[in-house]
Structure 1
Amino acid sequence: MPPKKVVEEKKIPLGRPGNSLKSGIVGLANVGKSTLFQAITKCSLGNPANFPYATIDPEEARVIVPDERFDWLVEQYKPKSVVPANLTVYDIAGLTRGASTGAGLGNAFLSHIRAVDAVFQVVRCFDDAEIIHVEGDVDPIRDLEIISEELRIKDIEFTEKGLENIKKQTRRGGQSLEMKKLKEEEATIEKILQWLKDGKDVRKGTWAPKEVEVINPLFLLTAKPVVYLCNLSEKDYIRQKNKHLAKIAAWVKDNSPGDPIIPISVSFEERLTQFDSDAEAEEECKKIGTKSILPKVITTMRKALDLGSFFTTGTDEVRQWTIRNGTKAPQAAGVIHGDFEKTFIQCIVYNYSVLREEGDEAAVKAKGKVLTKGKDYVVMDGDIILIKAGAAKA
């Protein structure tokens, strides 16, 4: 008898499905969040005030994603219209110790974090007598512990509520398939609760696809990807040295292994935005022997969210579309227009890397590297796609 074919379970990512995912800038009060938001979005919130809760409602902006592939395509096609990819970023007001129990504006802040899909966690590593620290002194490890604990305490609360709701249903008993499913969900929620009570973040667990289906509707704070931004003084950033960095790296390795850590000087990034042109800002960077880290911050977050891009190209428009990695062609077509997903027939596709190697579209066609793909095709990051779809039903 032939060996039994093993059906591989499809891995489901933690977090809500979709391609329009949002990131939130999080941290204690007065660590540089609002100033970072201003720098990263090139838009002004006025001068961030030197006291906690200066930002009470989350501010939202779309940030252009830097991508040399897009720049090259624009140069190649010289289109009438260009539309780069963007990342939605929120500036969320500062957390404080006790936020999970409502201290400060705690509950509002935590609900704002719940509404985003990933977190930029800003950690203060600079001394400045002019800028007060909500805890009295600069201690990044203590700050990391406070935020980690507050998010986990809130998740325990969310999970306990979820458990309470499902227990109301399983108490009815019975042997139906629906009851069996509910009991499996109850066991998963109990497992999540224990994981959190053991002091661990949900994103660091190894969860089966069925467990992920239970986790995602809970919108847990510790299930979200995190990128740690260590906010240094300009001097420390230029010399790439700071007394706190090694300790932060050790803490992240022990508590959030694998999460990216990026040293940044928010004051330096803000200063670069004061120049009249990008060329002047670049000249300043050359003069002092450094560069802006913001492009890396944006691309690292996109990677943490497991987002990729495909392109549509032509002399009318070059456009970069954002999708979750692993998206199939009809769903990618749906990002362009909802009707395209329903009426998808096939797509004509070749990758940017092939175009770059061959030089132009005609050479790609001549070498037979333009492919026709159907509904099961998984779109690759960097694909250039032409969608063929039927007429939408009226």
Structure 2
Amino acid sequence: MPPKKAVEDTSKNVVAFGRVKNTLKMGCVGLPNVGKSSLFNLLTEQSASAENYPFCTIEPNEARCPVPDEQYDFLCDIWKPPSQYPAYLHVTDIAGLIKGASEGQGLGNAFLSHIQAVDGMFHVVRAFDNDEVLHVDDSVDPIRDLNTIQSELCKKDLDILQKTKIAEEATVRKAGGKFKMLPLFDETTAKIKTMLEADKPVRDGSWTTAEIELINEKIRLITTKPVLYLVNLSMKDYLRQKNKYLPSIAKWVTEHGGQPADVIPFSVEYEQKVWNLREDPEALAAFHAENKVKSRISKIVTQGFTRLGLQYYFTAGEKEVRCWVIQKGTLAPQAAGVIHGDFERGFIKAEVVAYQDFHDLCEGGKSMGPIKAAGKFRQEGKTYVVQGGDIIHFQFNVAPPKKK
């Protein structure tokens, strides 16, 4: 009797849904008039339209915003190079969805395709009462709004799933019996269908490595994307750190596969006030001293960047301090390849010091001498997994071009 097939422990699965790239995007999604475009403006310091009526944003606005990081600031202060390049989070402002968007209501199909093009979502939820700001459903109800968006995205994924199955079956028929549909494909699509019909996002399921790889290769689903829930409060509620809707929102998120850390309360009204005072340091300092509440923009950016599975390492010297964005788990040769393809092909070794070791041992100087003396300067090879915050100098050998 053959041995039973080992069952994969999916709870420890580190294989991720989505694309493996270093230019991934977060998209601002939600109902109309919940604060998406206003947040986008604040994130990117741009002036995308944010008028008070539905469908103000028709085409998705795309921009990037720097990822705030004290480590990067410290290295820039040490070297003071002429060129300084932080890491950036790419953000897309996507027009509002409404009930029925998956069936083409409003401008639904176009908007849903824009969501399909990003890699993660800032789901902006309105949690403030204001008669002067229109609500597409004529009343403020964050739980209803959360259910509406999730339902529409699940319905759109059902449509994507059906079209993918039809295309795969057509490919099998065209092959004339040369190959059959993989049992894994049928099993996985059936599992996806059951979840989506119950309005459960695919990301909340328990998936094997093989299933995730199949979904990534064959099916471009929306509900595999990671989500952060940004709850837009009134300035009054944000300052007093209390809101009548927040407990039910937090409960909904945890009941639908999320974690408490996935909910970030913020206030467009408050952030706009801070932004307007940016050129008056005294007034801004007085405002912060009076209110004792910090901006959440930095947290939104850093958590969005992290949720995409991104990190960065540093190169630092007299000419330049730069963050190089990579996926978590990237090996040293591939990390070098982000700088230039020849660095990956000719990789010899990486000279590495962890940021914290450099910070603690550099004595305010640029020399690696104290770090080497403390045994914290390392040489790593091709199997080294680059860590976020590593300061790296690569050594490589590039073969000269062949003579014609």
The aligned counterpart of 2:22 is 19
Give 1:316's match in structure 2, choosing from 315, 319, 322: 319
Matches of 2:52 and 2:139, distance apart in 1: 15
Deviating more after overlay: 379-388 vs 286-295: 286-295
1:351 aligns with 2:351: no
Residue by residue over 1:112-150, the C-alpha shift from the partner in whole angstroms, topping out at 9 and shown as x without a partner, is: 000000000000011111111000100000000000000
Q: Is 1:211 aligned to 2:214, yes or no?
A: no
Evaluate the alpha carbon distance shift between residue 392 and residue 106 of structure 1 in structure 2; reply closer, same or farther with a 3 A threshold.
Answer: farther
Letter in 1 for 2:359: R
Q: Displacement, 1:342? A: 1.9
2:234 — aligned with what? 233
Asked if 2 retains the 8 angstrom alpha-carbon contact of 1:166 and 1:186, the reply is no
Partner secondary structure for residue 221 of structure 1: coil
Q: What secondary structure sits across from 1:387 in the alignment?
A: strand
Secondary structure in 2 matching 1:334: helix
Q: Verify the 8 A CA contact 2:192 2:202 in the aligned structure 1.
A: yes
Cα offset for 1:179? 3.4
Under a length normalisation based on structure 1, what TM-score does the superposition of the two structures give? 0.93
Change in Cα spacing, 1:241 to 1:75, as seen in structure 2 (3 Å) is same
Query: CA offset at residue 297 of structure 1?
Result: 0.5
Which of 384, 388, 392 is the matching residue for 2:395? Answer: 388
Distance 1:252 1:156 in 2: 22
Aligned counterpart for 2:138 among listed residues 136, 146, 165: 136
Query: Partners of 1:131 and 1:12 in 2: how far apart?
Result: 42
Give how far 1:173 is off.
9.4
Letter in 2 for 1:378: V
Change (3 A) 1:283 1:72: farther
- Specify every segment of 5 or more residues in structure 1 that has no aligned partner in the other structure, as ranges: 1-6
Q: Which residue of 2 aligns with 1:4?
A: none
Offset at residue 53 of structure 1 (A): 0.5
Q: Name the amino acid aligned to 1:76.
A: I
Shift of 1:190: 2.2
Report the Cα distance in structure 2 between the residues aligned to 1:108 and 1:223, rounded to whole angstroms: 19
Equivalent pairs counted in the alignment come to 386
> Deviation of residue 392 (structure 1)?
5.3
In 1, the alpha carbon distance for the partners of 2:326 and 2:20 equals: 10
User: Hey, what does 2:189 align to over in structure 1?
Assistant: 189
Residue identity (%): 45
Equivalent in the alignment of 2:306: 303
CA distance in 1, matches of 2:300, 2:330: 24
Which amino acid in 2 is paired with 1:250?
A: K
TM-score normalised to structure 2 length: 0.90
CA contact (8 A) 1:285 1:292 kept: no
Instruction: Indicate the SS of the match to 2:359.
Output: helix
Match runs of 1:8-47 below 5 Å: 11-46=14-49
Contact 2:13 2:208 in 1 (8 A): no
CA distance in 2, matches of 1:23, 1:171: 38
Could you say if the C-alpha distance between residues 174 and 208 of structure 1 is closer, same or farther in structure 2, counting changes exceeding 3 Å?
farther
Q: 1:189–1:214: 8 Å Cα contact kept in structure 2?
A: no
Note closer, same or farther for the CA distance 1:10–1:265 as it changes in structure 2 (3 Å cut).
closer
How far apart are the structure 2 equivalents of 1:222 and 1:323? Answer: 23
SS in 1 for 2:64: strand
For 2:69 and 2:335, the matched residues in 1 are separated by 19
Closer, same or farther: CA 90–289 of 1 in aligned 2, 3 Å: same
Match of 1:117 in 2: 119
Match of 2:380 in 1: 373
Instruction: Give the aligned CA root-mean-square deviation in angstroms.
Output: 2.2
SS of 1:156's equivalent? helix
Distance 2:337 2:158 in 1: 36
1:3 aligned residue:
none
Separation in structure 2 between the aligned mates of residue 355 and residue 157 of structure 1, nearest angstrom: 52
Q: Which residue identity does 1:364 align to in structure 2? A: I
State how far apart, in whole Å, the 1-side matches of 2:38 and 2:136 are: 17
1:246 aligned residue: 247
Cα pair distance change 1:382/1:148, threshold 3 Å: same
Note the C-alpha offset of 1:224: 0.4
- For residues 21-79 of structure 1, the C-alpha deviation after alignment (integer angstroms, 9 at most, x for no partner) is 10000010000111111111111124x11111000011011101001111111112222
| Alpha-carbon distance between aligned partners in 2 of 1:27 and 1:393, rounded to the nearest angstrom | 53
What is the SS of the residue equivalent to 2:180?
helix
Provide the C-alpha distance between the structure 2 equivalents of 1:139 and 1:208, rounded to a whole number of angstroms: 37
Q: Distance in 2 between matches of 1:195 and 1:172?
A: 30
Task: Give 1:85 deviation, angstroms.
Answer: 0.6
Distance 1:380 1:392 in 2: 28
Match of residue 3 from structure 2: none
Counterpart residue number, 1:146: 148
Give the superposition deviation at 1:271. Answer: 2.0
Moved more, 358-367 or 316-325: 358-367
Any idea what SS the aligned residue of 2:129 has? Answer: coil
Give the Cα–Cα distance (whole angstroms) in 2 for the partners of residues 337 and 81 of structure 1. Answer: 18
* Residue equivalent to 1:87: 89
